[in-house]
Each structure stands twice: as C-alpha cells, then as structure tokens.
Amino acid sequence: MVSLLANRIKEPIRAEVKKGNEASSKIAEFSEMKFVKEDSNAILHYQRNGIE
C-alpha cells in the first residue's frame, strides 16, 4: 500500500526509520527509496528523487 501511494507522489519523498526496524526498511526500499545515511541517533534515512 505504501508503494502504491509513493508512486502517485511526483515530488521527492523521504523516510526516517529506526535502526533494526527491518519491515519499515524493506517498505522504503520497495517504494524505490535509496538508503542515504545513518545518523548518530541510529536513524536510517531513505530518499527518492522526484519522478516524471
């Protein structure tokens, strides 16, 4: 469901996921977001550029 919604959003999107939350990480990756970085608070940052 998240992937369906993400595909309707043309602007860039991002997600912040707690380290160890494998389900949310997989959802972000399935929604075509790429891992960007892990910050000092063990938060994983994902991002997808805008689409046409």
Whole-structure pTM value: 0.87
Q: Provide φ and ψ at 28, rounded to 5°.
A: -60, -45
Mean pLDDT of 13-42: 96
- Checking if the pLDDT of 40 tops 90, the result is yes
Give me the amino acid identity at 29: E
Mean pLDDT of 7-22: 95
pLDDT at position 3: 85
- pLDDT, residue 1, reads 82
pLDDT (0 to 100) of residue 7: 87
Task: Spell 19-40 as b/e; 16+ CB within 10 A means b.
Answer: eeeeebbebbeebebeeeeeee
Q: Are 25 and 17 spatial neighbours (Cβ–Cβ below 8 Å)?
A: yes
